[in-house]
Copies of this chain bind each other. A is one copy, B any other.
Amino acid sequence: MLFKFHHALPCSQKPSFLLKDQWTKVMRSVNMENLRTGYLFPEQAMALSTVEGYSGYGDEQGEKALRKRIAEKFYKNMDVKWEEVFVSDGAQCDISRVQMLFGSHVTVAVQNPSFPAYIDSSVIFGRAGNLQEQNGKYERIVYMECTPQNDFFPDLSNTPRTDIIFFCSPNNPTGTAASASQLRRLVDFATANGSIIVYDSSYAAYISDGSPTSIFQIPGAKQVAIEISSFSKFAGFTGVRLGWTVVPKELSYSNGFPIVKDYDRIVCTCFNGASNIVQAGGLACLSTEGFQAVSKVLNHYKENAKILIEAFRGLGMEVYGGENAPYLWVHFPGSSSWEVFAEILEKTHILTIPGRGFGPGGESYIRVSSFGHRQTILEASKRLTSSLRKFNFN
């Protein structure tokens, strides 16, 4: 992904052009609370070489300015306070960090298919039980089936109660976003059962149809949900590592103890804050110019997704996702997802992901990513159209 924010500043203002004492003045003028442009990201790295710009340990929970900006930008009118926002080194890390709250004996439900980390970390924390060969499922995990038949939203009337419900929307891999009425049902279900929803909104920036971008848009969600999110797909921070988690003050254990207090303790003990340079980069993405630049890149990927949808639909295939997510979920009914993956790779040299990697519910699907240069996507589209037309996936 491109990361061109510094082009917003004319070259003559770039601090690396300045002599050292001028530099010092520039650094003194940098105010994290008042950041105007996206240029601070590399500047912050350079600043560490100056007496004025060097910073040691920050708050384990994240820079206050960044926590505030996240609360304002992503949770407007949702009554999320900055103290409830914990900055992290990415959503995947926070999935495990949240697991530390609950110990080994809680029960867990996940969407099927789903991003593997929910189950994998549950296995590591000792709550999954044995893997059952007959169906590829762990015996103590509740799998909430998400298929085209149920609009990729689980049938909650058939879902057993669990302590924790992992729910990802827009979903990775299916690319579908839950609607407000679906999330209303989910929150009601959790409320009635005394369950905690761990809501993963890492792909929320891709939502285009007005679906909720946060579980906290649903009244009452603050009593039952934690939300995990990320800069990885929103701003191309995959290798840079930045995310956040919202733990509402209203959320408590069954004995009334506020979960946010334990989470704060975990963050301070088992984590020590995201990198200061990286946080400066995150803040830059949430400035006016930064957000515009990020939105431009997001739109680029959304257009990529449209091109890929068209290619697969042109081949007569059922395609889901791609509208509210960077991922397409392409159905090859009756086929093995690994065989489809291998055949596409062999015939077109295009890498997809076999759906089976996202759990047994991913069988007969592949996940297709729209993260790429336009030229690559157009070339992929061309190859798919010309090569796959000849093949017959049962």
Q: Which residue numbers of A lie inside 8 Å of B, CB to CB?
A: 1-7, 14, 16-17, 41-42, 44-46, 48-49, 51, 54-58, 89-90, 92-93, 95-96, 100, 103-104, 117, 120-121, 124, 126, 236, 238-241, 265-266, 269-278, 281, 373
User: Which B residues lie within 8 Å of A278 (CB)?
Assistant: 275, 277-278
For the complex, give the distance between the alpha carbons of A57 and B48 in Å.
25
Shortest C-beta distance, A261 to chain B (Å), equals: 13
For the complex, give the distance between the alpha carbons of A292 and B117 in Å.
41
- Copies of this chain present: 2
Whose C-beta in chain B lies nearest to the C-beta of A89? B89
Are A272 and B92 touching (Cβ within 8 A)? yes
User: Which B residues lie within 8 Å of A49 (CB)?
Assistant: 2-7
For the complex, give the distance between the alpha carbons of A41 and B42 in Å.
9
For the complex, give the distance between the alpha carbons of A269 and B90 in Å.
12
User: Which B residues lie within 8 Å of A16 (CB)?
Assistant: 14, 16-17
Are B48 and A45 touching (Cβ within 8 A)? no
Closest 8 CB pairs of A and B: A96-B270, A239-B276, A42-B45, A56-B238, A3-B48, A241-B275, A42-B46, A3-B49
User: Which B residues lie within 8 Å of A120 (CB)?
Assistant: 269
A54-B2, A93-B272 given as contacts; is B124 within 8 A of A277 (CB)? Answer: no
Shortest C-beta distance, A67 to chain B (Å), equals: 16
Shortest C-beta distance, A151 to chain B (Å), equals: 30
For the complex, give the distance between the alpha carbons of A292 and B57 in Å.
24
User: Which B residues lie within 8 Å of A241 (CB)?
Assistant: 89, 272-276
Shortest C-beta distance, A358 to chain B (Å), equals: 15
Are B272 and A275 touching (Cβ within 8 A)? no
User: Which B residues lie within 8 Å of A373 (CB)?
Assistant: 51
Shortest C-beta distance, A155 to chain B (Å), equals: 29
Shortest C-beta distance, A297 to chain B (Å), equals: 11
User: Which B residues lie within 8 Å of A14 (CB)?
Assistant: 16
Are A236 and B54 touching (Cβ within 8 A)? yes
For the complex, give the distance between the alpha carbons of A25 and B323 in Å.
37
A48's contact among B93, B103, B240, B275, by CB below 8 Å, is which?
Answer: B240
A93's contact among B55, B58, B92, B270, by CB below 8 Å, is which?
Answer: B270
User: Which B residues lie within 8 Å of A103 (CB)?
Assistant: 104, 126
Shortest C-beta distance, A200 to chain B (Å), equals: 14
Q: Which of A3, A55, A241 has the most CB of B within 10 A?
A: A241
Are A275 and B239 touching (Cβ within 8 A)? yes
For the complex, give the distance between the alpha carbons of A124 and B102 in Å.
10
Shortest C-beta distance, A10 to chain B (Å), equals: 13
Q: List 17 A-B contacts (CB under 8 A).
A: A2-B51, A5-B49, A14-B16, A41-B48, A42-B42, A45-B45, A56-B236, A57-B239, A89-B89, A92-B270, A93-B272, A96-B269, A120-B269, A239-B273, A240-B276, A241-B272, A241-B276
User: Which B residues lie within 8 Å of A45 (CB)?
Assistant: 41-42, 44-45, 277, 281
User: Which B residues lie within 8 Å of A266 (CB)?
Assistant: 124
For the complex, give the distance between the alpha carbons of A1 and B41 in Å.
20
A121-B270, A277-B277, A278-B275 given as contacts; is B46 within 8 A of A6 (CB)? Answer: yes
A271's contact among B4, B93, B269, B281, by CB below 8 Å, is which?
Answer: B93
Whose C-beta in chain B lies nearest to the C-beta of A58? B239
Whose C-beta in chain B lies nearest to the C-beta of A104? B104
Shortest C-beta distance, A102 to chain B (Å), equals: 11
A17-B17, A238-B57 given as contacts; is B2 within 8 A of A269 (CB)? Answer: no
User: Which B residues lie within 8 Å of A271 (CB)?
Assistant: 89, 92-93, 96
User: Which B residues lie within 8 Å of A46 (CB)?
Assistant: 6, 42
